[in-house]
């Protein structure tokens, strides 16, 4: 079965850090964006295998909203 899962990937001084806001504790990293993306996909698949179908439905039904915001600093 396929699921849509939100992920966040952040670049830092050590590479890329990825996590899913819906799945607490489900995170990974990689030296490149592509590595982080592949690693978080694998982590999510493994995570989802360990929880019940009811928990999957509950966790993956959260509404995640993202936006960009421009701020000014004096």
Can you give the residue ranges of every domain in the chain?
8-60
Whose structure tokens read 């928990």? 55
Give pLDDT tens digits for 50-70: 999 999 999 999 888 888 999
Predicted TM-score (pTM) of the model is 0.84
Whose structure tokens read 């001084």? 13
Give pLDDT tens digits for 13-43: 999 999 999 999 999 999 999 999 999 999 9
Interatomic CA distance for residues 37 and 29, integer angstroms: 8
Into which CATH architecture does domain 8-60 fall? 2-Layer Sandwich (3.30)
Report the pLDDT value the prediction gives residue 27, as an integer from 0 to 100: 97
CB-based contacts of 49-57 (< 8 A; 24+ apart in sequence): 56/3
């Amino acid at each position: 079965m396929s699921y849509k899962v939100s992920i966040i990937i952040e670049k830092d001084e050590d590479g890329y850090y990825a996590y899913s806001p819906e799945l607490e504790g489900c995170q990974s990293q990689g030296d490149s964006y592509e590595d982080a993306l592949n690693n978080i996909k694998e982590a999510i698949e493994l995570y989802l295998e360990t929880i019940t179908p009811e928990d999957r439905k509950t966790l993956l039904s959260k509404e995640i909203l993202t936006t960009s915001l421009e701020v000014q600093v004096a």
